[in-house]
Amino acid sequence: MSRVMKPEKRVPIFPVLLLALICSLGLSPPGFSQIGASNKGIELFLNSKTTVYWAKYLSNDRDLNWNGGTKVKFDLARCKGISLYLFGDIETIIEKSKNISYFNPQKVHYTIEPGLKREVGGGELGIALNHHCKHDQDRFDGFTERWNTLAVRFVREGKVKDIALLRGKVTLGEMIRRSDVDYNREVIVGFAFHPLKKGLLPHFSANLRAVSTDGSLSERSGFFDGAIEAGIRLREGNGGIVGFAQYLHLNDVDHCGGRVEDLGRLGIRFEFR
């Protein structure tokens, strides 16, 4: 189905500035990563987790060469067992060039998510409103995909003999506002195995995302995205370094209803708490 090209839209600057601010806070010195105060049953604190990653796509696609980004999550306040958090993620995709010194980012993806969570039934139940935006860098193809999702998420963790942490999560989301996408609802299921002991240990994770669509921008009723990751984690103190290999099955690589790609990716990830 052909798509009608739309006039270029100005990228909202406020979400970008907000994300830059929270990323700078997440990379502050360790002494700033945990601050707390309480008053009248409301506990205010700042616990942060920052992840910085860089990866190489194993692809012949000229648009998919390098990939780098930062993820930051803050726990901000707690009252009667309910916690407030803020999550931000910004990712840059760089196209292929024969000149190693030629840096040409071609897409930027970002996510901002405030949410509430509390312990329920041996796990953690949360509700969040997240904003996603995918836009072109240094060029414009006529589409700026963005959507807001109201999501409910359940996460449960368990230790394996104090050696590793098993984490499972399920997310149900309803798209409540969207532009240049035809997404209606999504279900995300994830699983991860993380070592707890210090040293060089294996790591594994997998995620599956199912999305239903209304078919207004593509000839489909839905699609699946997936990711499988295996790697080695070196854990030291409150952080760690992860070397990873991924298999990715991605829809809408260029725009909604566009290319579907099966990709490999090799990278390194730095984690700070």
Fold of 13-272: Porin (2.40.160)
Yes or no: say if 126 and 155 are a contact pair by the CB < 8 Å rule: yes
Which ranges of the chain have pLDDT less than 50? Answer: 1-2, 4-18, 20-22, 24-34
Q: Is the dihedral of CA 241, 242, 243, 249 positive or negative?
A: negative
Please give the pLDDT value at position 13: 43
In our burial notation (b when 16+ CB lie closer than 10 A, e otherwise), range 2-16 reads eeeeeeeeebeeebb
Total-model pTM: 0.81
Query: What pLDDT is attached to residue 255?
Result: 81
pLDDT at residue 185 in the model: 96
